Structure 1
Amino acid sequence: MSLSDLPPPPLVFQFSRRTVIGGAAAAGALISIGARGATPLPAGLFSLGVASGDPDADSVILWTRLAPEPLAGDGGMPPVAVPVRWEVAEDERFARIVRTGTARAEPHWGHAVHVEAKGLRPGRWYFYRFIAAGESSPVGRTRTAPAVGASVDRLRLCFASCQKYEAGFYAAWRHVVAEDPDLVLFLGDYIYEGAPSHKDAVRQHRNPEPMDLAGYRVRYATYKLDPLLQSAHHAAPWALTWDDHEVANDYAGALDQGNGDPVAFLRRRAAAYQAYYEHQPLRVRPPRGADMRIYRTLDWGSLAQLQIVDDRQYRGPHACQPPGLVEAHKPYRSVIGDCADLNDPGRSMLGAKQERWLDQRLASSPAQWNVLAQQTLMRQAVVVDPKDPSGGPHYSADNWSGYPAARDHIFRRWVQAGTSNPLALGGDIHAFAAADIRDPDRPDAAPIAAEFVGGSITSLRPDPDFKRLAATNGLAFAESYVRGYGRLDIDAKGGSVTYRGLADALREDSGIADIARFSLEAGRPGLHVETV
């Protein structure tokens, strides 16, 4: 199945660089559905906004979902397919429309629409909108990637993760829009799946913990109704991958954190994956049950290639677990010491097929900069075991420290393949971190790369040990009390990574400031810390 065969998603809000403008609604509009006759549709079809993503040199994915009652499991839509017109223009007023077509919003996919808008010019900004039942969506702004192999002056990319709705407001996204990025990279935990919290929540999830498709649809709608998040989607194309909370906390393959029944969990994973697909502008095939391939590359002319990976779906079980724990369906042990299987080279974080794919991409990439877009901290990091604070060393079983051989395989591949200027971007840990990456076979030699973990949009990590252990863990920068995002600016000679920290993530109008900056130099890997 090609993307052109897929039903396109509906659109919701109009984007302007100055403001978000709602589309005009046509109450009581009728829509013809083939032999079904005229079916009335309610107003407010585009409540969840619009989005674009995964640009290439001549196309971009456009998304929307029709949902006049967004907090209903079916979005308040009748069980019929709806034609949705889409338009791409060179100007915000749509005086110069360059591409248009009609897609179908199908009830099976929650009336979501994914349009591959083809035939666009490389390296250009465009505007887009959707129209259904006489109602126009907001206008989104997007852009195509530069031509394949083209010389590119620069790339500005904002990267972020971990936006728990209850933990704060989305002031960070207002500042991302002001950065005017070419691309937004989201590295996981777009939603959080937990039950509504009644403690220290600045706002609450609108439905119980989701277990089925309707529940996950409502949870995504809760997040996508936020106007600041919508404005960030309307401002620029996104590239996304997932982490755990899009399904369930700390899941590994077919096992949830409680090591429950795998069959029941895979039913839940299938529902979560479909809801993820229904709500994101992805250049991927739709899920087939509990399987959905989202690892892929994104090229930016000759300047950069993003290798976007999935470290959840294919990973092996957590290491160093007590015997019988899985069989007894008891929660996994999240903090582990050393054990026989921790460094087993057969244990995988990405799965064998994805590892082979990544090996090939790292060897064949023609780009000057190679950005590994993955979910978490890669450097081996000691943590404190609350049950044995004086013991050690201990590690997190859930990040790359629990899969060290799989991580070192990537590092060795960078060296063996001569991958040009590799960088790793991550999220997950609710903290900012930066570190040199070294060849596992030559740990005392110069760095081969650097990694940058870009904080969190809202999610908390009140952990004094993170900063206290920063030097022990080889982190050149560590900050777990400030929330925000990272900004990557690169050109042919070098660039920078800047960490942007909010003054107060509990305020929608929070200010922001640079809290750390690192310069990059082509051909000279590693961290170069600047003063902010």
Structure 2
Amino acid sequence: MQMRPNRRQATATILGSAALLVATRGAAFRAADDPFTLGVASGEPAPGGVVLWTRLAPRPLDPDGGMPQARVPVRWEISEDEGFERARSGTAFAEPDWGHSVHVEVDGLSPGRTYFYRFIAGGAASPTGRTRTAPAIGAAVDRLRIAFASCQHYEAGHYAAYRHMVADDPDLIVFLGDYIYEGNPGRNGVRSHLNPEPTDLAGYRARYATYRSDPLLQAAHQAAPWVTTWDDHEVQDNYTGAQSKFLRDPEAFARRRAAAYQAHYEHMPLRRSARPAGGSMRLYRAIDWGGLAQFQIVDDRQYRDPPPCQPGDPGGKATIGLRPDCPGRHDPRRTMLGAAQMDWLDAQLGRTRARWNFLSQQTLMMPFKRIPPDTPDAPPSVYNLDAWDGFTPTRERIARRWRDARVPNPVVLSGDIHSFVAGDHFDPDDAGRIIASEFVGGSISSGARDKTLKRGASLNPGFHFADNSVRGYGRIDVTPERCEVALRALSDVRDPQSPIGDLARFAVENGRAGVQQG
């Protein structure tokens, strides 16, 4: 499948359109080098529109991307035909303060349609992307195909998973965090990060540019609209709210977090409502797909309290996630989502009428008492307090809301743990009653950490499947009556041509809570 059109042919096609740039207000910019090195993307599909994204960066690892310190006009075009014979178009401005990124919120489109789009800047044309608008609100929809993924450590493996994801032809791609990893370059991977660990805006821009330059990742962005959230590595491993995991210099960490948030916005197809302000960035929102599905996308990093049961003074060492049970796990004053986001989610779950409701978030949500890693033959006795097990009142509040609001068919989509998991959520007030299902879609490339995962899962209620020996993603086919889940696993993440297969298949039936064999 050819993902990047011939540049000479594309440029010849749009010479007349490019001439319109002369009349726009902005810097005179002529591209000596390709300004579209980071590709194109779309996201946030709505019934009447979608977000189109690119970032001008002829030298993507430079702090300014190789662009002048001036706003640059960028023409966008979108059409139902790939030849752009009946295209809508307009001009956006790539601003230097935002890394010359472009976020075009196109509206007035037809619901439930496939569109093609591209950008033109400095006489050069971008690759052509394909996107899709959501069906009309409440519309009857026969089928939806979702691919969901997370955790794409650049050094740990190649992105063969995206080759197969594109071939699966999803309507929507949901990414659940750890789009980048922030560490220094390593020596044992299949490739290396191209800049030191970032702590400022220039560093995070270079790190995103490293990832965004991968052709397989670019192809996945060109193939379908994305809906995204983040986890911790977009800033720093295991950070919590405004606090570094090292508990050092809060002002320095606040500057680092603000830089990381801005770089995240600059590289994702997000709406203006997500643009960072004052060091914060709102990512929680809902995406509807007609009357068939709603995605409640939450942010469980920015607003959370620090993990409980930690040593009072870590002595400059990172705080530790795995701990035995303690009173702090059950303290109702502590929060995973923050008060405002939790109130929003309560309201959203109370009014949704979608047949399927996908809580799309970062970390394993099911209760999971783990085996201590230094005693693999011991019984489970510790919890990962960096995940939902550190915030049981928030988890139980959501479960009760699913139950009391009679939310139709709640399904949790999760990432973070570099594992494939399928399991059930139980009513916190009735341990025999299943009220939701959960699926973790492995990792695109990031390696396994918990060597006792399978044994630990077999000793915890609710788990139907757990495997962290392979990498990949999840694919879901949704109809009004059934949600079919395929956990897709690569043969070798180190091989960019790796084949893939279904590791396991499951289903959830409409009106019948709980995971079934697919």
**Shorter-chain TM-score above 0.5:** yes
Q: Does 1:321 align with 2:316?
A: no
Q: Does 1:349 align with 2:333?
A: no
Shift of 1:38: 3.9
Query: Which among 152, 167, 175 is matched to residue 141 of structure 2?
Result: 152
Greater CA deviation, 404-413 or 312-321?
Answer: 404-413
Partner of 2:151: 162
Partner of 2:177: 188
Aligned mates of 1:206, 1:519 — CA distance in 2: 41
Is the CA contact (8 Å cut-off) linking 1:22 and 1:137 kept in structure 2? no
Partner of 1:252: 240
Partner of 1:230: 218
Q: Does 1:512 align with 2:500?
A: yes
Query: Which among 106, 127, 135 is matched to residue 95 of structure 2?
Result: 106
Query: Which among 261, 272, 278 is matched to residue 249 of structure 2?
Result: 261
Shift of 1:35: 8.6
Aligned mates of 1:339, 1:331 — CA distance in 2: 20
Shift of 1:93: 1.2
Aligned mates of 1:521, 1:391 — CA distance in 2: 34
Aligned mates of 2:325, 2:227 — CA distance in 1: 36
Partner of 1:89: 79
Residue 393 of structure 2 aligns to which amino acid in structure 1?
A
Aligned mates of 1:18, 1:210 — CA distance in 2: 34
Residue 402 of structure 2 aligns to which amino acid in structure 1?
W
After superposition, the C-alpha distances for 1:153-195 in whole angstroms (9 at most, x for unaligned) are 1110000000000000000000000111000000000000000
Partner of 2:110: 121
CA distance change for structure 1 residues 512 and 386 in 2, over 3 Å: closer, same or farther? Answer: closer
Is the CA contact (8 Å cut-off) linking 2:26 and 2:93 kept in structure 1? no
CA distance change for structure 1 residues 388 and 263 in 2, over 3 Å: closer, same or farther? Answer: farther
Q: Does 1:476 align with 2:460?
A: no
Partner of 1:406: 394
Aligned length: 508
Aligned mates of 2:233, 2:443 — CA distance in 1: 14
CA distance change for structure 1 residues 304 and 402 in 2, over 3 Å: closer, same or farther? Answer: same
Partner of 2:453: 466
Is the CA contact (8 Å cut-off) linking 2:30 and 2:121 kept in structure 1? no
Residue 118 of structure 2 aligns to which amino acid in structure 1?
R
After superposition, the C-alpha distances for 1:193-218 in whole angstroms (9 at most, x for unaligned) are 000001x2100000000010010000
Q: SS in structure 1 opposite 2:295?
A: strand
Partner of 1:437: 425
Q: SS in structure 2 opposite 1:87?
A: strand
Partner of 2:381: 393
Greater CA deviation, 140-149 or 252-261?
Answer: 252-261
Partner of 1:3: none
Q: Does 1:312 align with 2:294?
A: no
Q: Does 1:60 align with 2:47?
A: no
Partner of 1:131: 120
After superposition, the C-alpha distances for 1:370-402 in whole angstroms (9 at most, x for unaligned) are 000011111111223346765861111111111
Partner of 1:7: none
Partner of 2:366: 379
Shift of 1:330: 3.9
Partner of 2:348: 361
After superposition, the C-alpha distances for 1:395-414 in whole angstroms (9 at most, x for unaligned) are 11111111111111111110
Partner of 1:140: 129
Q: Does 1:21 align with 2:5?
A: yes
Q: Does 1:71 align with 2:61?
A: yes
Query: Which among 155, 165, 172 is matched to residue 176 of structure 1?
Result: 165
Q: Does 1:275 align with 2:263?
A: yes
Structure 2 unaligned segments of length 5 or more: list them: 12-17
Greater CA deviation, 158-167 or 401-410?
Answer: 401-410
Shift of 1:464: 2.5
Give the alignment's Cα RMSD to 1 decimal.
Answer: 1.9
After superposition, the C-alpha distances for 1:9-45 in whole angstroms (9 at most, x for unaligned) are xxxxxxxx5433353498xx99869898745543201
Greater CA deviation, 164-173 or 288-297?
Answer: 288-297
Partner of 1:450: 437
Shift of 1:256: 1.5
Query: Which among 216, 221, 230 is matched to residue 204 of structure 2?
Result: 216
Aligned mates of 1:333, 1:170 — CA distance in 2: 30
Aligned mates of 1:22, 1:271 — CA distance in 2: 36
Residue 340 of structure 2 aligns to which amino acid in structure 1?
K
After superposition, the C-alpha distances for 1:71-118 in whole angstroms (9 at most, x for unaligned) are 111100010110000000111111121x21000000000000000111
Q: Does 1:333 align with 2:320?
A: yes
Is the CA contact (8 Å cut-off) linking 1:33 and 1:82 kept in structure 2? no
Q: After superposition, where does 1:485-504 map in structure 2 within 5 Å?
A: 485-504=473-492
Residue 7 of structure 2 aligns to which amino acid in structure 1?
G
Q: SS in structure 1 opposite 2:395?
A: helix
Q: SS in structure 2 opposite 1:69?
A: coil
Q: Does 1:418 align with 2:406?
A: yes
Residue 3 of structure 2 aligns to which amino acid in structure 1?
T
Shift of 1:472: 1.1
Residue 56 of structure 2 aligns to which amino acid in structure 1?
L
Aligned mates of 1:294, 1:255 — CA distance in 2: 19
Aligned mates of 1:124, 1:114 — CA distance in 2: 20
CA distance change for structure 1 residues 132 and 266 in 2, over 3 Å: closer, same or farther? Answer: same
After superposition, the C-alpha distances for 1:230-281 in whole angstroms (9 at most, x for unaligned) are 0000000000000000110011001121112221111000000000000000
Q: SS in structure 2 opposite 1:342?
A: helix
Is the CA contact (8 Å cut-off) linking 2:480 and 2:510 kept in structure 1? yes
Is the CA contact (8 Å cut-off) linking 2:185 and 2:195 kept in structure 1? yes
Residue 83 of structure 1 aligns to which amino acid in structure 2?
P
Identical columns (%): 55
CA distance change for structure 1 residues 42 and 171 in 2, over 3 Å: closer, same or farther? Answer: same
CA distance change for structure 1 residues 176 and 249 in 2, over 3 Å: closer, same or farther? Answer: same
Q: After superposition, where does 1:297-308 map in structure 2 within 5 Å?
A: 297-308=286-297
Aligned mates of 1:391, 1:227 — CA distance in 2: 45
CA distance change for structure 1 residues 392 and 85 in 2, over 3 Å: closer, same or farther? Answer: same
Aligned mates of 2:364, 2:459 — CA distance in 1: 15
After superposition, the C-alpha distances for 1:342-397 in whole angstroms (9 at most, x for unaligned) are 11111111001100000000010011110000111111112233467658611111
Partner of 2:15: none
Partner of 1:8: none
Aligned mates of 1:275, 1:114 — CA distance in 2: 13
Aligned mates of 2:346, 2:24 — CA distance in 1: 49
Shift of 1:130: 0.3
